[in-house]
Structure 1
């Protein structure tokens, strides 16, 4: 699983890891993690990489700027999901990839949606951890948590002053050794404009935890993307991605898009 770096268009060094499959699938899977995590926490620790590699896929996990082993400037001008989407496309350039399947979780799902609207090398798309917030706010569902509130909570000295909805992200940032100043800058650059979902024309899977408040009403997101399909899995925002059903649905959907073969039917949105 070699981990290496490349230079983003603005000069930041970004880290990515490659896990080689057995060649059954010609199209690699690119994974973009969620806020305060990194490729290993979001995708290796949850079993997603193992499931995809065992299914024959080569998997590429990118550490978003401000996260993991990538550069972590403290200036919010260095961030934004649109910038991170350009980073994904730059990684495809770096690796000389002509076509990929792309999956993102939470913040990474917003990034993945943006990449899919603009980069024709994305031939199949999956998102997790987002729902109607994409439709109503163009990103994070601010009915659950405001990015500024989350940034303030990460930087707070006293845990007792941190709102309940912010605490899971604060715990995650500390567990992963995250740079909270960089993470706060990421949050303060969060986008609040609509994503042109009608420009997404590739097969798309929406994965949503049954108790994930940040992925509420995922059927609205699925209906907003032509032909998108919806699968609900057990768990909340922090646990749904680790449920085996998440990785299995992802592997099956990408296998079906790649070869037409699958082990179980994936339901269409109601």
Structure 2
């Protein structure tokens, strides 16, 4: 994979297809490949005339692994995304983020609205503002000696996923400490770009998509039927809703 330096940190990315560039930002513990290529998003987007650009967030995939929790704030990872667009000579593009990637996409839209034409936030509703209470459980699960030592349901999910993807569990534990930095309601109201907020009907981690969309200046909500947080990522109805939304905001 190609890479570039963002504030001295090597960040890996990949580019697929030709057409209008679209930036894809993956979720916690995942990677560009796992979140976007393996789920069929890249194929869907390239067939629809987009050039799909995936980024491996710091600490993930083929990007540099960092063990200082202070280097994983969502606002800083949003700068990585902005610098990737600059590196590729892309002035403005639509952005899709999932879960942690949606939080990063939100800070990107807030801090650098000129770089974002429209944004899709998957797996992230009102918990963008209210935050999540299971961070300590996930950190403990990632730092446990083995999966057998992990008891909590959420912790086990994240530990199994990290082992399945071959992720650096110590880097992920550091990331979990600070990457869930909440956005304030006032900051959400300041976002001017069009946003589609999409969450699964069974997603207990995201919070309300409708309530978050209502706070945005140009927000829409979509419920992904019969999907929880983990299974909504590559859902066909989610993809179609995103394509329809992006087509209205080209």
Task: Specify the alignment match of 1:215 in structure 2.
Answer: 206
1:190 alignment partner in structure 2: 179
Native 8 Å contact 1:51 1:248 kept in 2: no
Match of 2:249 among 252, 257, 260: 257
The DSSP-based 3-state class of the residue aligned with 1:247 is helix
Taking structure 1 as the reference length, the TM-score comes to 0.87
CA contact (8 A) 2:100 2:179 kept: no
The secondary structure found in structure 2 opposite 1:116 is: helix
Gap runs ≥5 in structure 2: none
How far apart, in 2, do the equivalents of 1:202 and 1:118 lie? Answer: 11
**2:243 matched to 1:245?**
no
Q: Is the 8 A contact 2:120 2:198 kept in 1?
A: yes
> Given the alignment of the two structures, is residue 56 of structure 1 paired with residue 46 of structure 2, yes or no?
no
| Structure 2 counterpart of 1:231 | 222
* Residue matched to 1:7: 5
Assess if the C-alpha contact under 8 Å between 1:135 and 1:220 holds in 2: no
2:68 equivalent in structure 1: 75
Counterparts of 2:51 and 2:4, CA distance in 1:
19
Provide the aligned C-alpha RMSD in A. Answer: 1.3
2:124 maps to 1:126: no
Question: CA offsets, 1:209-236, max 9 Å, x none?
Answer: 1111112321111111112111111311
CA shift in 2, pair 1:215/1:96, >3 Å: same
Paired residues for 1:153-168 under 5 Å: 153-158=141-146, 159-168=148-157
Q: Cα distance, 1:193 vs. partner? A: 4.1
Supply the distance in 2 between the matched residues of 1:193 and 1:256 (Cα, whole angstroms): 29
Distance, in Å, in 1 between the alignment partners of 2:219 and 2:39 is 24
Normalised by the length of structure 2, the TM-score is 0.94
Asked if structure 2 preserves the Cα contact closer than 8 Å seen for 1:156 and 1:162, the reply is: no
Q: d(CA) in 1 for partners of 2:154 and 2:124?
A: 16
For the residues of structure 1 that align with 2:66 and 2:130, how far apart are their CA atoms? 30
1:205 to 2:196 alignment:
yes
Q: Which residue of structure 2 lines up, in the alignment, with residue 29 of structure 1?
A: 22
Query: What is the total number of aligned residue pairs between the two structures?
Result: 245
Change (3 A) 1:61 1:216: same
Cα deviation, residue 160, structure 1? 4.3
